[in-house]
Amino acid sequence: MFKLPDIPLSIFSKMSQLSAAHGAINLSQGFPDFDVDPMLIDIIKETASKKVHQYCPMSGLPELLQETAKLIDNTYGRKLNHNKEILITAGATQGIFTSIQALIEPGDEVLILDPSYDCYCMPITLSQGIPVRIPLNKEFLPDWELIQKNTTNKTKLIITNNPHNPSGRSWTESDMLELSNLLNSWKHLYHLSDEVYEHITFENTHLSANLYPALHSKTIIVSSFGKTFHITGWKVGYVVAPKAIMNEIKKVHQYLVFTVNSISQHALAQYLKSQDVKKLGPFYQKKRDLFRSGLKESRFDLLPCEGTYFQLASFDKISALDDTSFCEDLVTKFKLAAIPVSVFSAHKEEKKVVRFCFAKEDETLINATKILCEI
């Protein structure tokens, strides 16, 4: 009768509801609690008084498409045709959904590397495709031997996420070479690269698919202005793809949302002209380091964090509970919300690891670490 009758309330919604109910510090969902740049607020105020309240072109406001192309060129040295190879979307999630709907036909298999963001499987299922979920290795990096074993003539797409949510790990040059070899080995295999945290990296430079010409003809890249500029509620992202693939993505996009809200597009086009995204990594690295240093005296074991604004921590020395039960106890007993990592995997592998979001005010992070050190 219904397509998704067994899909429960997401863990993100559940933990945020519990957090609100118990007056807890919410380090579960990935959204900042600090103010938006005052310059952007001023631009919004000015923009709202202009004649910008009707539909933008389906692909995006031309000025925003141009500024996005400049951003990619300045960051990665890749020159794009902004009219034919870039699409403005209603958030990265819509970009991912639309791309999958455009590519996947009934019976097509899609490789997903677990743990993975929960928005990947549903558009595959709705397209009558088959998600093939492959675990990352114990360091949360790709197991290329296992990926090769699971790639068949039915495999249409591989979805990658770098920097990786939930682990915060970043890919290496070796990983990018293995990916290129995989795509070259299979004529009908395409690549969807989720890079929403592309500008939030620390010691290591982000290895975007934009940097590798060998990947361009078969790769769709999805990113997020919401993540980059701390405006997650705006739900504005973008997709990069070669013309032939982009034409198919646009066909779905025009019947899904048609176009993205006009005020945000005009504001972002203006805002991008003055922004240096290279400052974003150092900004979040200070928060990461503050959070990690605050947990030195805790019983949590911190895992590596090379990008994103998420920190994984093992509670193996603290509790025998599974990670979901531990997170429920954490919010109800200690007034702090986190996310269990097992929910990001198909088989809910239990590793006694939870995810904290450190995209918060310094005071919030300090208070959170004090609580965690008492556990």
Output the domain CATH number for residue 343: 3.90.1150.10
**Tell me, what DSSP letter sits at residue 304?**
P
pLDDT at 9 (0 to 100): 67
| Helices 362-373 and 280-294: angle between axes, nearest 10 degrees | 30
CATH number, domain of 60, equals 3.40.640.10
Judgement on whether residues 256 and 292 belong to the same structural domain of the protein? no
Residue 301 CB neighbours (<10 A): 15
Does 182 share its domain with 124? yes
Identify whether residues 213 and 304 lie together within a single domain. Answer: no
- Pair (203, 186) in one structural domain: yes
Tell me which residue of 208, 195, 190, 199 sits closest to 249, measured CA to CA.
Answer: 190
- 208 and 356, same structural domain? no
Instruction: Evaluate whether residue 48 is within a structural domain.
Output: yes
289: left (phi over 0), alpha (psi -120 to 50) or beta: alpha
pLDDT tens digits, residue range 275-295?
A: 999 999 999 999 999 999 999
In a domain, 5, yes or no: no
Distance of alpha carbon 196 from alpha carbon 226, whole angstroms: 9
* Domain match, 19 and 163 both: no
In the chain, what's the furthest Cα-to-Cα distance?
59
**291 and 206 in a common domain:** no
Six-digit token string for 19: 């957090």
Task: Out of 272, 296, 314, pick the residue that ends a domain.
Answer: 272
Give domain status of residue 2, yes or no. no
| 268 and 282 together in one domain | no
Tens digits of pLDDT across the chain (375 residues): 778 777 766 777 888 888 889 899 999 988 898 989 999 999 999 999 999 999 999 999 999 999 999 999 999 999 999 999 999 999 999 999 999 999 999 999 999 999 999 899 999 999 999 999 999 999 999 999 999 999 999 999 999 999 999 999 999 999 999 999 999 999 999 999 999 999 999 999 999 999 999 999 999 999 999 999 999 999 999 999 999 999 999 999 999 999 999 999 999 999 999 999 999 999 999 999 999 999 999 999 999 999 999 999 999 999 999 999 999 999 999 999 999 999 999 887 778 999 999 999 999 999 999 999 999
**Exposure class string for 128-160: b at 16+ Cβ within 10 A, else e:** ebbbbbbbbeeebbbbbeebeeebeeebbbbbb
Do 244 and 284 have their domain in common?
no
Contacts made by residues 360-363, CB under 8 angstroms, sequence distance 24+: 360/27, 360/32, 360/33, 360/34, 360/287, 361/33, 361/34, 362/287, 362/290
Whether the CB-CB separation of 110 and 157 falls below 8 Å is answered with: yes
> Containing H/E element for 156?
strand 155-161
User: Does residue 365 lie in a domain region?
Assistant: yes
Quick: pLDDT tens for 233-273: 999 999 999 999 999 999 999 999 999 999 999 999 999 99
**What is the structure's pLDDT at 187?**
94
Total of domains in the chain = 2
Q: Are residues 53 and 149 in the same domain?
A: yes
Q: How far is CA 143 from the centre of its chain?
A: 20
Per-residue model confidence (pLDDT) at position 14: 82
Residues 242 and 112 in one domain: yes
* 365 and 305 part of one domain: yes
pLDDT for the residue 175 = 98
Query: Can you give the residue range of the structural domain that contains 135?
Result: 39-272
**pTM of the predicted model over 0.85:** yes
